Amino acid sequence: GKRDWIHYVQVFENRGAMMGASNPHPHSQIWSTGHIPNEPATELERQAAYQVDHGSCLLCDYIAAERQSGERVVVSNEHFTAVVPFWAVWPFEALVVGHRHAQSLADLGPEEVSGLAEVMRQLTTRYDNLFEVPFSYSMGFHQAPVDGKTYPAQHLHAHYYPPLLRSATVRKFMVGFEMLGMPQRDITSETAAARLREQSSVHYKQR
């Protein structure tokens, strides 16, 4: 980066009071840190290890397999695909992955930016339509650090973590065994993806 004390840029959005959003209008946030935060650092380590072991990109291989299977895909276009990953913890958690191996948002071309925006719009519309309510979530991009080093294994992607479970008011809580032991799934990733796929691409307020 242009400022040598900035090593990582985190772009994220908290939507809804349930996720701590303090302003009701749509907005995202950009934070910068002098170190690589824990979650992206762990992902970077695993992606680099996979590249050494397999000679290819982990998320390139993963999203290709998901697109071929289709059962966990929510929406897809020429450039990006949104899936409910098999390791999902939150009921309707989603992962948005680009088909091309781009390392950061700055690497995307105009058509890819449009493709990403369309997948995000389709996914969040289906979220809202699921319970006909503005669907709360925390969302963020994981991309290559800006610390002057190279990260050839890094593949740009976005995580969506929504807490709602069975209705507009029933949410999942990470407490008890899930906090102290390990997360438990309430529905399968395949069921969650199917329920989102069956939602209309037209927002419920526009019907």
The residues assigned a catalytic role are: 27
63 contacts 157 by C-beta, under 8 angstroms: no
Please name the residues in contact with 144: beta carbons below 8 A apart, sequence gap of 6 or more.
103, 104, 151, 154, 156
Sign of the C-alpha dihedral, residues 79, 80, 86, 87?
Answer: positive
